[in-house]
Amino acid sequence: MTWVIFGLWAAALAVLVLHTLPSWERRGGKRGAAVTTVLLLGLIGVVILEVVDPKKASAWWARVRDFFQRFSRGFDNVGGTRFVISGLLLASIALFLDPGKDEVLVRTGFYALAALGLNVVVGLAGLLDLGYVAFFMIGAYTVGMLTESNATVHPAILAPWIILPIAIGVAMLMGLLLGTPTLRLRGDYLAIVTLGFHEITRQSAKNINAVNGSRGLVGIPHPDITLAGLSLRLAGLILLLAGLGIIATAWINSMRAWRKQASARDAHGMGDPSPVPGGAGSAPAPQEGSSGGLGGIVSGFKGQFQRSLLAGVANAIALFLVTAIGLATAVFAITQLLLRGDALVIEFGVLDPQKYWFVIAGFMVVALYLINQLKDSRIGRAWEAIREDEVAAATMGIPVVKYKLYAFAIGASTSGLAGWVLATKVGFVNPNTFPLLNSILVLCAVVIGGIGSSVGALVGAAVVFGLPELLRDIGREEIGIGALQFNVLTGRIAIFGLILVVMMIFRPGGLISSARRRAELGGMHDMDDEGVTDPRTVEARDG
């Protein structure tokens, strides 16, 4: 049974990955999207072929590339669908892991949330923040001080979920406070100042008695959802509406996209060549008027498959999945919740990492969605301009400091969010939970995964935080001969440091990056020793 579920899950993941291609394409150029996809799905075969028969290999290479170019151009950007699916996929990871690994997953999850935020600061706005975990700590301590822990000062006692926005807000506020004086300075200074800020925060936490110094705050309650007075019926109703809402959003978006495609095709004079007998509810519309109303929707839907069969199928599957999930939610709501009148209690035990992971996955999806929206907005474009040339951006009228401050504050708020989750899960916070090292490791995660790519941040977090834990058994041994013993687990930080340097030299964009980003970070010049730019190498460069 698990294999069936796993199969469905893998299929859904493939759909999701391919679904995000249009955004890669937009940002990185067609070649970037195509090359990345090939790496994902067909690289090994072609490499083997390359060894065996190089000429045939390059012919195949070109064919594969063309195929995926057509494919990725054919994909709809059905916004809501993508995030719902990705959220479910993320959440369901917890179902496939062994019991011990759940903990690892949740811990990685905290830092993945943090990495998402740091990616906004470093990747989108170009500000190097070395003391990021300070906001993490602030979020966690805020929770500590506002719940029934052993802090000596309690401004108020509130339920954990109510504290969530407060923790985010406090972290954001501290981000603003720190950023206002320092963002006017050069990037280099900001890095050191944030480093110092982290240390100040940590040392202050250690020295202030109100938060119990180095012993920290214990006894933070878990975020149990006990909506006293809120019956299951109401929860059921909310779920029902959510399920229907998801279905509605996905379908409305899709139909809108199809209609737009149909009218675009009309504008280019490409009609619907093969009428489908007994089609989806309406006769095939005449060529000129096919962009109107239902006919437009239908012909747009059919048009997907014509452009690229795989794209059409994948789109259809995605829509089907979302509909199915929405229906399932609605049915569940109706049968289970609306018909019972009990009070709603969801407990989060300490030995219950799965529930925390669902919460984290939910936060991740929301964060991903919001960050995505930001990237495509005026703010995102301003960040890009600032990142590439601050002086030019200022000349064009962009209030540089203000937008930098936005980035900084948003980054801080994500970190505060992660701090909330950590505090409520682990139940205690003390200064030692937040060493400076973790700040640097989160930076490593962002850099390795891909500066500027949200998905990259998640991948990087998995690599930097998840992998060492999973390889813990292997890492127990020391490798090396005689005196030169190198413990891989404790030495992983040295390795990550080395990886950072090597990455900056050879692949500055990280694992998931666009060519444009790589050029931005790695420099566009190939200079020989005299400092003269060699035009041949600039052209030949993989741009």
Partner 1 sequence: MATTAGSLNTRSLVGYGATALGIFVAVWFIGSSLDCNTNLFGPLFVTGLILGMIYALIALGYTMVYGVLKLINFAHDGIFMIGAASLFYLFGSWLGWDHPFTGIGLILVLIVGFIASGLASGSAAVLLERLAYRPLRRRGAARLSFLIAAVGASFFITYLFQQKFLLGTQEHNFPAIMETQRTLTFLGAQVNNRRVLAVLVAIGMFLFLDFFVRSTKTGRSIRAVAQDLDAARLMGVNVDRVVATTFFVGGFFGGVAGFLYGLVFSKVAWNLGFIPGIKAFTAAVLGGIGNIRGALLGGVALGLIENVSTMCVGTEWKDPIAFSILVLVLVFRPTGIMGEGLSAK
- Looking at 11-19, 85-93, 356-364, 521-529, which segment touches partner 1 (CB under 8 A)? 521-529
Using rule CB under 8 A, residue 344 touches partner 1: no
CA dist., res. 473 & res. 463, Å (int):
16
- Burial code (b: 16+ CB inside 10 Å, e: under 16) for 301-332 equals bbbbeebbeebbebbeebbebbbebbeebbee
Using rule CB under 8 A, residue 491 touches partner 1: yes
Our CB check for partner 1 shows the closer of 173 and 327 to be: 173
Using rule CB under 8 A, residue 507 touches partner 1: no
CA dist., res. 65 & res. 33, Å (int):
9
Of 31, 65, 73, 206, the one binding partner 1 by CB under 8 A: 206
Residue 242 contacts residue 329 (beta carbons within 8 Å): yes
Q: What number of chain residues touch partner 1 (CB under 8 A)?
A: 62
Strand 428-429 versus strand 217-218 pairing type? antiparallel
Residues 103-122 that bind partner 1 (CB under 8 A): 122
CA dist., res. 487 & res. 475, Å (int):
7
Half-sphere exposure of 443 (CA within 13 A, CB side): 24
Name the nearest CA neighbour of 310 among 28, 83, 41: 41
Using rule CB under 8 A, residue 524 touches partner 1: yes
Using rule CB under 8 A, residue 522 touches partner 1: yes
Of 35, 143, 193, 407, the one binding partner 1 by CB under 8 A: 193
Q: Return the ∠ at Cα 429 (arms to 497 and 356), rounded to 5°.
A: 85
- Looking at 298-306, 316-324, 412-420, 494-502, which segment touches partner 1 (CB under 8 A)? 494-502
CA dist., res. 518 & res. 515, Å (int):
5
- Looking at 92-100, 113-121, 284-292, 519-527, which segment touches partner 1 (CB under 8 A)? 519-527
Our CB check for partner 1 shows the closer of 73 and 516 to be: 516
Name the nearest CA neighbour of 108 among 371, 428, 417, 470: 470
CA dist., res. 312 & res. 37, Å (int):
17
CA dist., res. 339 & res. 235, Å (int):
11
- Looking at 13-21, 31-39, 469-477, 488-496, which segment touches partner 1 (CB under 8 A)? 488-496
Our CB check for partner 1 shows the closer of 200 and 270 to be: 200
CB atoms inside a 10 Å sphere around CB 334: 15
Using rule CB under 8 A, residue 390 touches partner 1: yes
Of 1, 51, 52, 188, the one binding partner 1 by CB under 8 A: 188
Which of left, alpha, beta for 29 (phi over 0: left; psi -120 to 50: alpha)? left
Using rule CB under 8 A, residue 221 touches partner 1: no
Residues 37-96 that bind partner 1 (CB under 8 A): none
Of 14, 200, 255, 489, the one binding partner 1 by CB under 8 A: 200
- Looking at 82-90, 102-110, 165-173, 520-528, which segment touches partner 1 (CB under 8 A)? 520-528
Of 207, 282, 335, 373, the one binding partner 1 by CB under 8 A: 207
Using rule CB under 8 A, residue 498 touches partner 1: yes
Using rule CB under 8 A, residue 443 touches partner 1: yes
Q: Residue 181 corresponds to which amino acid?
A: P
The residues binding partner 1 (CB under 8 A) are 122, 126, 128, 130, 181-182, 184-189, 191-193, 195-197, 199-200, 203-204, 206-207, 390-391, 440, 443-444, 447, 451, 478, 480, 483-487, 490-491, 493-494, 496-501, 503-505, 508, 520-527, 529, 531
